[in-house]
């Protein structure tokens, strides 16, 4: 149980499970794949928050504004990660691009359907952080 959040088991939807399973598979195949499969998230979140920071009301009581402010960055992490990918010689370009496209589709599915928990086959168990 995560006592700070009062969470036992977190049920997640099939799209979240598909994404995390894809990531785990790619990490296990070749550890540097982590750079590519997580780049979709890093790049998308920077892009989304860069747009949302302009349109979400600046009222701090707005929960979306709090999230946007917390997640918005200058894009340095995305740029640094892209540089690491470019400098790594172990990636086949076409394979890397395919992996990125699949990861980005998982990101889109996560945003569109991640909260749906019907047909969930397993639960993610929260760790006890206390």
Q: pLDDT digits over 36-73, tens only?
A: 999 999 999 889 889 998 998 888 788 888 888 888 88
High-pLDDT (> 70) share of the chain, %: 78
Q: What is the model's pLDDT at position 6?
A: 58
In this prediction, residue 124 has a pLDDT band, given cuts at 50, 70 and 90, of: very low
Q: Are 11 and 123 in contact (CB under 8 A)?
A: yes
Q: What is the model's pLDDT at position 31?
A: 92
7 contacts: CB under 8 Å, gap ≥ 6: 1, 126
Whether residue 92 is predicted with pLDDT greater than 60 in this model: the reply is yes
Total number of domains constituting the chain? 1
Domain membership of residue 42 (yes or no) is yes
Domain membership of residue 39 (yes or no) is yes
Domain membership of residue 123 (yes or no) is no
Domain membership of residue 1 (yes or no) is no
DSSP letter assigned to residue 106: H
Domain membership of residue 76 (yes or no) is yes
Instruction: Provide the residue range defining the domain that includes 25.
Output: 9-114
Domain membership of residue 121 (yes or no) is no
Domain membership of residue 99 (yes or no) is yes
């Amino acid at each position: 149980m995560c006592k700070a959040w009062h969470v036992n088991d977190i049920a997640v939807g099939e799209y979240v499970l598909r994404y995390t399973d894809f990531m785990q598979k790619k990490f296990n195949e070749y550890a540097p794949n982590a750079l590519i499969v997580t780049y979709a998230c890093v790049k998308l979140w920077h892009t989304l928050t860069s747009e949302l920071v302009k349109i979400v009301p600046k009222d701090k009581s707005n929960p979306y504004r709090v999230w946007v402010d917390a997640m918005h960055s200058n894009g340095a992490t995305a740029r640094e990660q892209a540089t690491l990918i470019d400098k790594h010689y172990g990636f086949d370009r076409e394979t890397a691009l395919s992996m990125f496209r699949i990861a980005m589709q998982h990101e889109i599915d996560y945003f569109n359907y991640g909260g749906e928990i019907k047909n969930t086959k397993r639960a993610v168990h929260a760790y006890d952080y206390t």
